[in-house]
Homo-oligomer: A and B are copies of this chain.
Amino acid sequence: MNSISWIGMAAAFCTTCAFVPQVLHILRTGNVEGISLGMYSIFTLGVLLWLIYGLALSDLPIILANGITLMLATTVLGLTLHKKRQQR
């Protein structure tokens, strides 16, 4: 792998794993007040489309990165919806 590929791999790693601290933050504090439901709705739809795009092209890096991000973003969306309903 050349250095450009490594930059791409590091980029995919960061934008995928970034959602782990957000999931942990919600589980630890239960606070979702500042989180925009609109953001996670649009973002989760976008990641699902990226996954479909990767599957259509049989591109494993796109499938892997977006498959993991989809699970994490769906978890944030689900937890946020759940907590916002509880707080009403």
Contact = CB atoms under 8 A, between A and B. Distances in A.
Q: How many copies does the complex hold?
A: 2
Nearest to A11: B49
A28 to B, nearest CB: 10
Majority secondary structure of chain A interface residues (helix, strand, loop or mixed): helix
Interface of A: 4, 7-8, 10-22, 24-26, 29, 31-36, 38-40, 42-43, 45-47, 49-50, 52-53, 56-57, 80
Contacts of A12: 46
A7 B42 contact: no
A88 B84 CA distance: 24
A26 B33 CA distance: 10
A52 B25 CA distance: 29
